[in-house]
Amino acid sequence: MSRVVKVDVWSDIACPWCYIGKRRFEEGVRRYVASGGETPVVVEYHSFELSPDTPVDFTGSEIDFLVGFKGLSIPQVEGMLSQVTSLAAQEGLDYDFGSLQHTKTIKAHEVLHLAKAEGRQEEVVERLLRAYFVEGRHVGHDDELADLAAEAGLDRQVVLDTLADGRYRADVEADIEQAMAYGISGVPFYVVDRQYGVSGAQDPAVFAQVLSQAAGLMTATS
C-alpha cells in the first residue's frame, strides 16, 4: 500500500475562517508539491459546531447574531466582519455577510458524511461553504442542502433520505467528541498524520512546512 500524508480537518460550514483556511491549505499543498513533495496528501473533513445552540431559522443578520448570541457590540462586530471580508478577498473569496443566512449546521455535517462515503467530500465541502458565505443560501434546510449536494455530484433523493433517517448523526457526534478529546475548541484545526496539530487559518508556508515534515518523517521510517 502506497504511503500518504493524511490530514484530518475539523471545520464548520458556518466558520468564515474555515473557508479562508481551506484556500490557504490548498496553496500550502501546491507549495509542498512544487518544492518536491512526492508523498500524496489525503484530506478528510470532520464535523464541528461552533454554535450548536443556533436555531435553524435564525431571524436577523450576522450582526444581530453575533451581538445577541456572542455578547459583542455592534462596532466590534462591524469591524470584525470588515476585516474577515478583506482577508477572504485576498484568497479570492467574495464574502457577503449582508445576505448570509445564519443557521444550525448539524444537517450540513450529515451531508458531508454522506459525501465522504460517496467519495465526493471535497466537492460538497466547497459547494456548501460557497453557498453559505458567498451566495447567501440556506444550509440548514433539507431541500436546499439536497439541491446544493446534487450540484456537487450527489444524488438528491439519497441526500433527502439520509437527512430524514439521520443515518450519519452518530458520525457527526463522534467527530465532535473526538475534537473534544484532542482539546480542539476552535476551527479550523488540522491534524497531520496524527502527529502535528495546526490551529487556525495559517499562512500557506506553515502548511507546506508541516506537510514536508510529515512526508520526510514517513520517508525516513519507511
pLDDT digits (tens, 9 = 90+) for 163-197: 999 999 999 999 999 999 999 999 999 999 999 99
Average pLDDT over residues 147-172: 98
Torsion sign over Cα 138, 144, 145, 147: negative
- Alpha-carbon distance values, 84 to 26, 40, 60, 97 (Å): 19, 31, 20, 10
This prediction's pTM? 0.95
Residue range of the domain that includes 222: 1-17+187-222
Mean local confidence (pLDDT), 103-128: 98
Provide the pairing of β-strand 41-47 with 189-192.
unpaired
Domain assignment present for 111: no
Per the rule left: phi > 0, alpha: psi between -120 and 50, beta: everything else, 15 is: beta
Output the nine-digit C-alpha cell for 103.
Answer: 443557521
How many domains does the chain divide into? Answer: 1
- Residue 10 within any structural domain of the chain: yes
Would 195 be classed as within a structural domain?
Answer: yes
| Average pLDDT value over all residues in the chain | 95
Distance CA 114, CA 57 (A): 23
pLDDT of residue 114 exceeding 50, the answer is yes
Identify which of 21-35, 55-69, 208-222 has the greatest average pLDDT: 21-35
Residue 12 falls inside a structural domain: yes
What pLDDT is stored for residue 186 in this prediction?
Answer: 96
Could you tell me if residue 210 is inside a domain?
yes
